[in-house]
Protein backbone atom coordinates (compact mmCIF):
# COMPACT_ATOMS: atom_id res chain seq x y z
CA UNK A 1 0.00 0.00 0.00
CA UNK A 2 1.02 3.59 -0.51
CA UNK A 3 2.20 5.63 2.41
CA UNK A 4 0.37 8.84 3.32
CA UNK A 5 3.24 11.10 2.26
CA UNK A 6 3.20 9.63 -1.24
CA UNK A 7 -0.53 10.13 -1.57
CA UNK A 8 -0.19 13.73 -0.40
CA UNK A 9 2.29 14.51 -3.17
CA UNK A 10 0.06 12.90 -5.84
CA UNK A 11 2.71 10.52 -7.10
CA UNK A 12 1.10 9.07 -10.21
CA UNK A 13 3.97 6.94 -11.46
CA UNK A 14 2.31 3.72 -10.37
CA UNK A 15 -1.30 3.86 -11.54
CA UNK A 16 -1.94 0.22 -10.60
CA UNK A 17 -1.06 0.86 -6.97
CA UNK A 18 -3.23 3.97 -6.81
CA UNK A 19 -6.05 2.00 -8.44
CA UNK A 20 -5.76 -0.73 -5.78
CA UNK A 21 -5.73 1.86 -2.99
CA UNK A 22 -8.96 3.38 -4.34
CA UNK A 23 -10.58 0.02 -4.91
CA UNK A 24 -10.04 -1.10 -1.32
CA UNK A 25 -10.49 2.24 0.49
CA UNK A 26 -12.92 1.53 3.35
CA UNK A 27 -13.45 5.18 4.31
CA UNK A 28 -16.24 6.68 2.20
CA UNK A 29 -14.98 10.21 2.85
CA UNK A 30 -11.47 9.38 1.57
CA UNK A 31 -12.77 7.30 -1.32
CA UNK A 32 -13.52 10.30 -3.58
CA UNK A 33 -9.94 11.53 -3.23
CA UNK A 34 -8.53 8.06 -3.86
CA UNK A 35 -10.65 7.64 -6.98
CA UNK A 36 -9.55 11.03 -8.32
CA UNK A 37 -5.88 10.27 -7.64
CA UNK A 38 -6.16 6.93 -9.42
CA UNK A 39 -7.99 8.53 -12.38
CA UNK A 40 -5.34 11.21 -12.63
CA UNK A 41 -2.56 8.62 -12.71
CA UNK A 42 -4.43 6.47 -15.24
CA UNK A 43 -5.13 9.44 -17.51
CA UNK A 44 -1.46 10.45 -17.34
CA UNK A 45 -0.46 6.94 -18.37
CA UNK A 46 -3.01 6.96 -21.20
CA UNK A 47 -1.56 10.25 -22.41
CA UNK A 48 1.97 8.80 -22.31
CA UNK A 49 0.89 5.73 -24.28
CA UNK A 50 -0.86 7.90 -26.87
CA UNK A 51 2.36 9.85 -27.44
CA UNK A 52 4.27 6.60 -27.87
CA UNK A 53 3.33 5.31 -31.30
CA UNK A 54 4.88 1.88 -30.84
CA UNK A 55 2.23 -0.80 -30.55
CA UNK A 56 3.15 -4.14 -29.09
CA UNK A 57 1.51 -6.81 -26.95
CA UNK A 58 2.61 -5.07 -23.74
CA UNK A 59 1.16 -1.67 -24.63
CA UNK A 60 -2.01 -3.26 -26.00
CA UNK A 61 -2.59 -5.18 -22.77
CA UNK A 62 -1.84 -2.07 -20.71
CA UNK A 63 -4.32 -0.02 -22.76
CA UNK A 64 -6.96 -2.65 -22.04
CA UNK A 65 -6.06 -2.63 -18.33
CA UNK A 66 -6.26 1.18 -18.24
CA UNK A 67 -9.66 1.16 -19.92
CA UNK A 68 -10.92 -1.49 -17.51
CA UNK A 69 -9.54 0.41 -14.50
CA UNK A 70 -11.31 3.63 -15.55
CA UNK A 71 -14.55 1.74 -16.06
CA UNK A 72 -14.20 0.08 -12.66
CA UNK A 73 -13.53 3.40 -10.93
CA UNK A 74 -16.55 4.98 -12.62
CA UNK A 75 -18.76 2.08 -11.51
CA UNK A 76 -17.36 2.19 -7.97
CA UNK A 77 -18.10 5.90 -7.77
CA UNK A 78 -21.61 5.38 -9.14
CA UNK A 79 -22.37 2.58 -6.69
CA UNK A 80 -20.96 4.31 -3.61
CA UNK A 81 -22.43 7.72 -4.32
CA UNK A 82 -25.68 6.46 -5.93
CA UNK A 83 -25.46 8.51 -9.11
CA UNK A 84 -27.12 7.59 -12.35
CA UNK A 85 -24.84 5.85 -14.90
CA UNK A 86 -25.21 8.78 -17.31
CA UNK A 87 -23.86 11.30 -14.79
CA UNK A 88 -20.29 12.48 -15.28
CA UNK A 89 -18.11 11.07 -12.54
CA UNK A 90 -14.77 12.20 -13.81
CA UNK A 91 -14.80 15.67 -12.33
CA UNK A 92 -13.08 16.80 -15.55
CA UNK A 93 -15.98 17.29 -17.91
CA UNK A 94 -16.29 13.64 -18.86
CA UNK A 95 -12.57 12.99 -19.29
CA UNK A 96 -12.82 9.44 -17.92
CA UNK A 97 -15.51 8.58 -20.43
CA UNK A 98 -13.55 10.22 -23.26
CA UNK A 99 -10.39 8.33 -22.42
CA UNK A 100 -12.22 5.01 -22.26
CA UNK A 101 -13.64 5.68 -25.71
CA UNK A 102 -10.18 6.50 -27.10
CA UNK A 103 -8.68 3.26 -25.83
H or E stretch at 22: helix 15-23
d(CA 30, CA 25): 7
Q: 54: Cβ–Cβ under 8 A, 6 or more apart, which residues?
A: none
d(CA 45, CA 78): 23
pLDDT digits (tens, 9 = 90+) for 3-62: 443 444 455 569 999 999 999 999 999 999 999 999 999 999 999 988 887 778 888 899
pLDDT digits (tens, 9 = 90+) for 45-98: 999 988 887 778 888 899 999 999 999 999 999 999 875 555 444 444 444 444
d(CA 5, CA 69): 24
d(CA 16, CA 88): 23
The residues spanned by each domain of the chain are: 4-102
The model's pTM is 0.68
Amino acid sequence: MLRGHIMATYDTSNWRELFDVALFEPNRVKLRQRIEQARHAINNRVDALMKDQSENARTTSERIALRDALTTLAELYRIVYAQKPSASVSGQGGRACRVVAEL
